[in-house]
Amino acid sequence: MTASLLWIPVTLAAAAAQTGRNATQRRLTETIGTVGATQVRFLYGFPFALLALAAVSLVTGETMPHPNAAFLAYVLSGALTQILATALMLSAMRERAFSVVTAYTKTEPVQVALFGLVLLGDTLTPAASLAIAVATAGVVLMSVKPGAGLTSSGLKPVVFGLASGAFFALAAIGFRGAILSLEAGSPLIRASTTLAWGLGLQTAILIAWLGLFDRKALVGSFAAWCPSLGAGFLGALASQFWFIGFALTTAANVRTLALVEVLMAQAVSHRFLAQATTKREVAGMLLILGGVALLLLSHR
């Protein structure tokens, strides 16, 4: 495989690791709540990010690139918008509109493409643009139940879901911008450096926030350190692969291929939760696969 196509297996690995992390975090919500389970992604992922950066530096012989003003601005924007995106997503889910939230947050690839074009100058071919639209339509079809419209649960979860997808898109653009703004180093060392900075900032921000406003969740996340380590490791592993992908190609390509995570989550639900797959979900999965196939063909 040529270097230009390495983003494909890297993104697939990231999606697989994230599916595992989500399953682990879902179990943690039962013991430390939603906020506490969310913050372990950053708190327990940060040490693994530092270890990954040290390992990459040792293996490649490269030193950590010196951060500049543009890097710091991009990585801080990525860290903050990712936290905001998660908070908005959780707020929407509290409205008991999980399917609608999923449909709107997974409009992220479309928004990533738009933000990437405006903010970073990342252009897409017509085939890649069509692939994004087809795959996103598949997610919407899978997420919305028959007879229920996208606004049937009220306007609030729709607004929160769309805003969440927008902030997730801005986070992807922020982190890709940070990687590209580093002036020296291979894609691997630049991605690892950005990840360590990003998780470090997010850890500091969330510890300060929880310490002021939700000490119970903070104490709970420390008490449940054993299962949280697994979530932190998988989260850092997924982010490491996401960031390498961002270093190799546009964020829109990465986030569109990442929609295979929806299929992986469906497989987990079917295998371990004994949830049946409906015809509507099958049609949605076929659209996702068709969009992903079109995306990959556009890069041949």
pLDDT per residue as tens digits for the range 164-205 = 889 999 999 999 999 999 988 999 999 999 999 999 999 999
pLDDT at 93: 64
Distance CA 124, CA 141 (A): 24
- The yes-or-no verdict on residue 31 having pLDDT over 70 is yes
pTM of the model: 0.86
Region 8-30: mean pLDDT is 81
Rounded to whole angstroms, what are the CA distances from 276 to 262, 267, 285, 286?
Answer: 15, 10, 14, 16
Question: Which CA distances in Å does 31 have to 53, 218, 236?
Answer: 31, 12, 22
With CA atoms as reference, report the closest residue to 243 among 20, 53, 84.
Answer: 53
Q: Residue length, the chain?
A: 300
Provide the residue ranges of all domains of the chain, joining segments of one domain with +: 46-217+240-297
CB count, 10 Å around CB of 116?
Answer: 23
